[in-house]
Amino acid sequence: MIEKTVLDNGVRILTESIPGTYSATVGFWVENGSRHETPTENGISHFIEHMLFKGTLRHGALTIAKKIDAMGGALNAFTSQEYSCYLAKVESRKLPQAIDLLSDVLLNALFDLDDIEKERRVILQEIHGLADNSDELVHDQFNRAYWQGHGLGQPVIGTAQTVSALTREQLLSFVADRLHATNLLICVAGQVHHAQVVDRLCGFFSALPAGKKPERTVPKPSYRQVVSLFKELEQVHLCLGTPAPSQSSPERFTAHVLNAVLGGSMSSRLFQILREQHGLAYAIYSYLNSHSDCGAQVIYAGISPSDLNVAMTLILHELRQLRTFGISREELNFAIDKLSGQFLLSLENTEHRMTRLARNHMFLGYVQSPREVLDSFRRVRLEDVQALARDMFQDEYLHVVMVGKVPKEGYPLVDLTVED
C-alpha cells in the first residue's frame, strides 16, 4: 500500500508498505541537479553530495560510516541532472536509526574548510579519471553537444575549472537556497508503517523553510552535428543520438520497446549485426537518456578506426529499416515480455521500489501501479513503434560524437542520412 503525507511547509513523504520483506530503504530526494546550476557553479550539487557525509554537529565522518555498518546496512548518494538522492537500506527494525542518521547528515553538515579542500582533490581526481576513460567520456561529450548551451549539457560532476573555484560560502549559500521543504521528497519502501515514519520525520523537517523550486528552462531543439575529439586510442568511441520522448510522455513505453529491439540487450538488432555477424565491436548498445521534459535515444559503440565507416553504415541502415518497415510481431512480443519481466523482478528490491516512488512522483505527479505499467507495455502496437521511429530517426536530428583517432577537422566520410 502506498500512502502520502505533505507537511505544512511542503515536505512530501511517500511510503510503500511491502509485507514480508526484511529490509527497508529510505531516500531523501532533493529536486535539484546540474541542469539548475549556472555555468560558473557547475558541479556544485555533486560537490555538496560529497560534503554532506564528511561530518555533522553530532557525528564525524567515521562515526557516520560506523553507524550504518553497525546496522548491517548501506548508505549511498548520487546526483543527476535533475535531482540528488541520499539513501540508506537497512533491516526494517533499524529504519528509525537510519532516518535519524540521514536527517542529521542532510540538515547539519559542517562543511569544514579542511574537509572541503580534501574532497575537492577527490572530485578533481574523479574528473581526471573520467577524462582518461574514453568509453565514459564520450557520453559526457555527447550530452554537451546534444544539449549545447543548456544546463542538461553540463557534466554532473562539473569541470576542473568550476570545481577548483567553488568556495565554502558558495556551497553553504547553495544548500540554503535549494535544500528546503518544497524541494524535498522523502520516500520509504519496505516493511514500514506510514504514521510512524511521518512522526519521526516531522521532528526533523517540520521547521524547514518552504522555499521555492529552482527555475527550469526547456531545451531548444537540437539539430544535426558531428563532433570529434582526437585522442591516441586503439578504438574510436562513438555516440549517435536522436530526440526521444521524455519521462512523462505517453510515448515513453513505445520508446522502451523500440530501444529494446534496437540495442537494449544481447539479442537486439545492433548487437547481433555489429558484434555477432560482423565482429566489429565488443561493446555495442543503445539506451534512453530521458528527462522530465525531453530525451535522447543514444547508440554507443567502440570501433577500430579502420572499421568506423562500415560500422556507421550498418547502424544507419538499421535506423532506416526501423523507419521504413518498423519491427515484426515477434520482436514486439519479445520486447514487451522482456521489459515486463525486468520490471516485475525489480519489484522484489526495496531500493528499487523506493526509487520508483520518487521518480513516478517527480515526473508523473502520481505513482503508477504495477498493473498500469504492464498494461501500458501491452498496449504498444506495431504501428506505434514505426511512427515513433519515423519521428525520431530523421537526418536533421542526428548527432554523432566520437572520441579517438578521428580527423581533427571532423568525420565527413559517412552520409548520415536516414531519410527514405
pLDDT, tens digit, 9 for 90 and up, residues 27-47: 999 999 999 999 999 999 999
Q: Is 49 designated active site?
A: yes
Using CB atoms within 10 Å of the CB of residue 382, give its burial: 0 to 12 exposed, 13 to 18 middle, 19+ buried: middle
Using CB atoms within 10 Å of the CB of residue 287, give its burial: 0 to 12 exposed, 13 to 18 middle, 19+ buried: middle
The gap from C-alpha 381 to its chain's centroid, in whole angstroms, comes to 27
d(Cα 299, Cα 386) in Å, to the nearest integer?
A: 18
Q: What share of the chain is helix, strand, coil (3-state, %, to 5)?
A: 50, 20, 30
In this predicted model, what pLDDT tens digit does every residue of 225-266 receive, in sequence order? 999 898 999 999 999 999 999 999 999 999 999 999 999 999
CA atoms within 13 A on the CB side of 329: 0
8 A C-beta contact, residue 163 and residue 156: no
Which residues are registered as beta bridge partners of 2?
Answer: 16
8 A C-beta contact, residue 235 and residue 303: yes
Domains of the chain: 2-205 (3.30.830.10), 225-404 (3.30.830.10)
In this predicted model, what pLDDT tens digit does every residue of 104-156 receive, in sequence order? 999 999 999 999 999 999 999 999 999 889 889 999 999 999 999 899 999 99
d(Cα 50, Cα 127) in Å, to the nearest integer?
A: 14
Q: Is the pLDDT of residue 304 over 50?
A: yes
Residue with cell 531545451: 219
Catalytic residue among 31, 49, 318, 351: 49
Sheet holding 84-91, edge to edge: 2-6, 12-17, 184-190, 23-30, 84-91, 74-79
Phi/psi at 303 (nearest 5 deg)? -130, 145
Residue 338's CB is within 10 A of a number of other CB atoms, namely 19
pTM of the model: 0.94
pLDDT band at 413 (very low <50, low <70, confident <90, very high): very low
Sheet holding 281-290, edge to edge: 225-230, 399-404, 236-243, 295-303, 281-290
Q: What is the helix (H) or strand (E) element at residue 91, kind and residue range?
A: strand 84-91
Please choose, from the candidates 36, 40, 186, 41, the residue with its C-alpha nearest in 3D space to the C-alpha of residue 107.
186
